[in-house]
Chains A and B, each alone.
Chain A
Amino acid sequence: MGTCKINRIDLDLCRIARAMEEIKTGVFKLKEFSGGMQCVIRNCDRIMASLAMIQINCEINDIDEMEKGNY
């Protein structure tokens, strides 16, 4: 199940998962380049928490694949 329609919303899990991976990679880079600067790190942590919520909501459609990051 890659794409599904819920209430006329086109939900493309494949691309969501891929975009989330890209953001995570970006967040790790931000932290790495921050040289430990607190304002970067704490905002990165907040981004990660928000990503986790997107993950929880998306894996409702296919937990196995979302857990594996296979989309």
Chain B
Amino acid sequence: METMPREMLRNLQLKKFKRILKWGYENSGLYRRLYDQAGLTPEDIKTWDDVAGVPMLEKEHYRSAQAKEPWPYGDSLCVPLEEVTAYRQTSGTTGQPVYQPDTWQDWEWWSECWAYTLWAQGFRNTDRVFIPFGYNIFVAYWAGHYAAEKIGCEVIPGGILNTEERILKMKELRASAFMATPTYVLGMAETAEKLGIDPRTLGIKRILCAGEPGASIPPTKRRMEEAWGTDVYDHIGATEIGGWAYECTAKPGGPHVNEAMFLVELIDLEDGSPIEEPGKPGRVVITAFDRRAQPCIRFDSKDVAMWGEPCACGRSFRVLKGGVIGRVDHITKIKGVLFSPSAVEEVVRDIPELGNEFELVVRKKNDLDELILKVEILPHCCHQENKIKEALLRNLRLKTNLNYYLEFHPYGTLPRYEVKSRRFKDLRK
């Protein structure tokens, strides 16, 4: 089904879109208000042009609906409260968290979507999958866990262990795969080496990355693959949406959108017109076709991505070149130049003398934007500071068209993150 012809796929998507919009309109006060205000009924949706005219949903819509009854989901909820079997929430980085209800069927759907990911990345029932993550109220890796079980893997929950204990447990049990954020994949390799263990000897055959875009940024991917001596694949998902994109073993330079389960639209950052051609960055707007307790219909993810070329694996699902390349709110202009922090990551991680960590701060100085980049030089490369500085400034300028103040910090002193790294700080607001 992942190889069905594009035209058939588009027809399927249109039908599924109509179906979920009708579901939302008939069962949720949130969607009813949103569409009534726009003078829209489900019967109005006939063509793709009609789809493009459906009002977009933002986090704020969920928040205001959730201020109503029944607690805590308000009238964004489409099923009786008794049918809800799982609670999750967003991290709240951008304000009050969004509460996410799922029925058991929704949860089956979550793991179904992740099963597409795992299967495409070569996970099979012969894998022993370690999950080095502190399971909690966030959805991260829960669905990965259930999906791995669903396709028959043996799953080891590495929940509350610390990094050393996780590595030793992976070694002891001979895990063949694990899933983590790119930051943590690199951090685990550092920790293993401190324990005197070469990560490449652990026999890991595949690593799934989620939570951050690193696995689609070539130098970051290369660092992870070299550290662990294995293949690393990207996956994209979000609490309100689901797991909506995954890289395949052909590694086309970004993940496939799961177009059987999601409608992903890219729209122009300035004028909002649809983008179909490869190579042009756009705002990612997503519909989950089969999520029912709290539907996600034309949700503005605030992510930025661009279409890539078709993949050699034969899947007809489109590829996002470089995965999520930024956030709409991070791609504010700096000194009038369109800027994405992932470009900086690409430059930093392409210089082998630098450590994995970095931090980028933008602040106002005399009404001018000023960029400060903090990096770590590897201990044995300290004598090359000037050479590294030169290369860094040159490559940053080439890639982003901007100048930076550089700060060199001793190796190991910048913050390390397990999830949701905050390497980009905009202090202008």
A residues neighboring B (CB under 8 Å) = 6-7, 45-46, 48-50, 52-53, 56-57, 59-61, 63-64
Q: A63-B16, A64-B15 given as contacts; is B108 within 8 A of A57 (CB)?
A: no
B1 touches A57 (CB 8 A): yes
* Contacts of B299-353 to chain A: CB distance below 8 A: none
User: Is B250 part of the contact surface with A, judged by Cβ < 8 Å?
Assistant: no
Kindly state the separation between the CA atoms of A48 and B109 in the bound complex, as whole angstroms: 12
User: Is B260 part of the contact surface with A, judged by Cβ < 8 Å?
Assistant: yes
* Contacts of B16-65 to chain A: CB distance below 8 A: 16
Q: A6-B3, A64-B15 given as contacts; is B104 within 8 A of A56 (CB)?
A: no
Having A56-B112, A57-B1, one finds 20 other A-B pairs with CB under 8 Å, namely A6-B1, A7-B3, A49-B103, A49-B104, A49-B107, A49-B108, A52-B105, A53-B108, A53-B109, A53-B112, A56-B261, A56-B290, A59-B12, A60-B1, A60-B12, A60-B260, A61-B1, A61-B4, A63-B12, A63-B15
Residues of B within 8 Å of A, CB-based: how many? 16
A-side binding surface: helix, strand, loop or mixed? Answer: helix
B residues neighboring A (CB under 8 Å) = 1, 3-4, 12, 15-16, 103-105, 107-109, 112, 260-261, 290
Contact of A50 among B12, B108, B260 (CB under 8 A): B108
Kindly state the separation between the CA atoms of A52 and B104 in the bound complex, as whole angstroms: 11
Contact of B104 among A7, A45, A63, A64 (CB under 8 A): A45
B260 contacts across to A, CB distance below 8 A: 57, 60
Instruction: Return the chain A residue nearest B83 by Cβ.
Output: A45
B4 contacts across to A, CB distance below 8 A: 60-61
Instruction: Return the chain B residue nearest A48 by Cβ.
Output: B105
Q: A6-B1, A6-B3, A60-B260 given as contacts; is B12 within 8 A of A52 (CB)?
A: no
B109 contacts across to A, CB distance below 8 A: 52-53, 56
A7 contacts across to B, CB distance below 8 A: 3
* Least CB distance, A57 to chain B, in whole angstroms: 7
* Least CB distance, B148 to chain A, in whole angstroms: 16
A46 contacts across to B, CB distance below 8 A: 104
B108 contacts across to A, CB distance below 8 A: 49-50, 52-53
A64 contacts across to B, CB distance below 8 A: 15
* Least CB distance, B47 to chain A, in whole angstroms: 17
Kindly state the separation between the CA atoms of A45 and B260 in the bound complex, as whole angstroms: 24
Listed from nearest, the 3 A-B pairs whose CB atoms lie closest are A49-B105, A60-B1, A49-B108
Instruction: Return the chain A residue nearest B150 by Cβ.
Output: A53
Instruction: Return the chain A residue nearest B104 by Cβ.
Output: A49
Q: List 6 A-B contacts (CB under 8 A).
A: A6-B1, A50-B108, A52-B105, A56-B109, A60-B4, A60-B12
Which of the listed residues B4, B15, B105 has the most CB atoms from chain A within 10 Å of its own CB?
Answer: B105
A57 contacts across to B, CB distance below 8 A: 1, 112, 260
